[in-house]
Amino acid sequence: MAQEQVQPTVFGSLNDYSKGGVQVIDDDPKNYVFSNVFDVAAKSAPYERVAVAKNFEYVIEAVRAEGTSGWYSCAHDEFALCIDGEIEVELLKLDDPDAVVDPQSEGAHALDGDPNGRKMGRLVLRRGHMGILPVGSAYRFKSGAPGAMMIQTIQGPVTVEKWAETCQQM
């Protein structure tokens, strides 16, 4: 009986990742582009939210977590997924969310200064942990060492598009 080969699972990090690629089966390779979230986060400024995937208005942003971010708020729920390191999310329930971010707006908005509200608590995200960034709140991120996360949101004013720099074409 032939012995089955086992493919090891390899986890990437900011300090150790392979850019990878796309294996095209039955199509033109020119129809595909891809980016590596670790590569994008490693080359980004702290808390720069770089779009790495897009489906209509929805985006996945790759983020380098390092130090303390400014405050953000959004008129809809967002999700943050830690993919490297440890990232703390501090949450405030805003006193008047509609005065901070237009309820008809989309995407995250950077806030000027400290928002008014009461502490909701904090999340400590480690590799593989996901947290919700709820509507009606303000949040900021803290990381004692460089880390990386992905944020699922709707494209908005803080979403940075660098497709020519971040995508590799086949």
- Contact partners, residue 117, CB within 8 Å, separation at least 6: 92, 93, 94, 95, 137, 138
Tell me the average pLDDT across 5-13.
Answer: 78
pLDDT attached to residue 34: 59
Q: How far is CA 100 from CA 14, 74, 111, 161, in A?
A: 34, 9, 8, 24
pLDDT tens digits, 51-102 = 998 888 899 999 999 999 999 999 999 999 999 999 999 999 999 999 999 9
pTM of the model as a whole: 0.85
pLDDT attached to residue 168: 63
